[in-house]
Amino acid sequence: MNMRRTTIKDVAEAAGVGVATVSRVLSGGSASPETRERVLTVAAQLDYRPSALGRNLRQRRSGGIGLLVPDITDSFYGRLADGVLACARSAGEPVILGTTGDDAEREAEEIAVLLEQGVDRVVAVPAGNGEIWEPTLRSGLTTVFAHRLAAGRQDVPAVLADDRAGVRTAVDYLTGLGHRRIAYLGGPGQDSRVSVFRQTLGALVDEELIVFARGSRDSAYAAAAGLFQHRPDLTAVLAGGNQLGEAAVLAARELDLRVPKDLSLIMFDDVPWAELCSPPLTVIAEPAQDIGYRAAELVLRAGGRRPRGALLPTELIVRGSCGPRRTQ
């Protein structure tokens, strides 16, 4: 029943050549046309599939690329992962997926698993600070960060959406509508956005209106509800991701705040349901899938040297969740 797989040795014998020749032919090395053809034919007849196991051990590295995201049930990371998979598939590389829950400790564990597997290329949405990555990077792991960078790790190439521009655009749009008390509802790893938020708002910043949730949906809801209750005077909110936006919509509804009459809402990340919502949500679209694809590309093309990162454009898509400031 469960017979041994065909090995390179079987092919070599059947073709009457040495194993090295088979190896060369199959990896595009030099060989006489006729030998090449014979080997190829025999390999096909025997339905020979080179084992990645042997190759990996020999080369002291597993092919394949590791992918670490905070939460695969989040539409944004789902699309990001899809981009990575698309690129990896075109290169015939397997993808090992791990989730971190935006927790530094879990991230470290997942990295350990990848290392143990011999993975030497990884695309990650970093959860912990840069230090966690220190030993990993020094051990030769080719790393590309996606969507955000780790504090104090400017040396790792990263593929990011230009959410700084996104924040500016959103804030300008909101202030242009007359809003003055604008809140930022953030998630893990959004320090950079918040600093732009502060800059753009200038004298209008109100630190109490900047709140953070942890990764979970519950935490997001709690943060949103808390914000709306403590500061009923705010008139607009910028949600830092689709789960945060979802929480904001839910919390607003719970507190009988009408969108956009009582509260204007802009959400980072354009998800399909943003259009189904009523009112349809005004969003800052981020090219999640592209981010993943580009990051995978970088990590694959990295021929030892460190590639430069990329900054992808965001876009404000105006729908119906923002209106002029409510007159008190």
Partner DNA sequence: CTGAAAGCGCTAACAT
Partner DNA sequence: ATGTTAGCGCTTTCAG
Enumerate binding residues for a copy of itself (CB under 8 A). 1-2, 5, 49-54, 56-57, 60, 62, 64, 67, 71-75, 78-79, 81-82, 85, 89, 92, 94-99, 109, 112-118, 138-140, 217, 246, 249-250, 271-273, 275-278, 289
What crossing angle do the helices spanning 163-176 and 191-201 adopt, rounded to 10°? 30
Q: What residue 138 binds from DNA, a copy of itself, none (CB within 5 to 8 A, per partner kind)?
A: a copy of itself
Q: What residue 90 binds from a copy of itself, DNA, none (CB within 5 to 8 A, per partner kind)?
A: none
Helix (H) / strand (E) containing 196: helix 191-201
Q: What residue 30 binds from DNA, a copy of itself, none (CB within 5 to 8 A, per partner kind)?
A: DNA
Give 67's strand partners.
97, 123
φ, ψ at 119 (rounded to 5°): -65, 135
Minimum gap (Å) between residue 45 Cβ and DNA: 15
Q: What residue 117 binds from DNA, a copy of itself, none (CB within 5 to 8 A, per partner kind)?
A: a copy of itself
Q: What residue 304 binds from a copy of itself, DNA, none (CB within 5 to 8 A, per partner kind)?
A: none
Minimum gap (Å) between residue 12 Cβ and DNA: 7
Spatial neighbors of 224 by CB under 8 A, at least 6 apart, are 185, 213, 237, 239, 244, 247, 248, 250, 251, 252
Q: Which residues bind DNA (CB under 7 A)?
A: 4-5, 7-9, 16-24, 26-27, 30-32, 34-36, 49-51, 53-55, 57-60
Say which residue the tokens 């190759």 belong to.
55
Helix (H) / strand (E) containing 312: strand 310-312
CA distance 286 to 80: 10
Nearer to DNA, 16 or 176 (CB): 16
Nearest to 216 by CA among 177, 174, 175, 244: 244
Nearer to a copy of itself, 83 or 126 (CB): 83
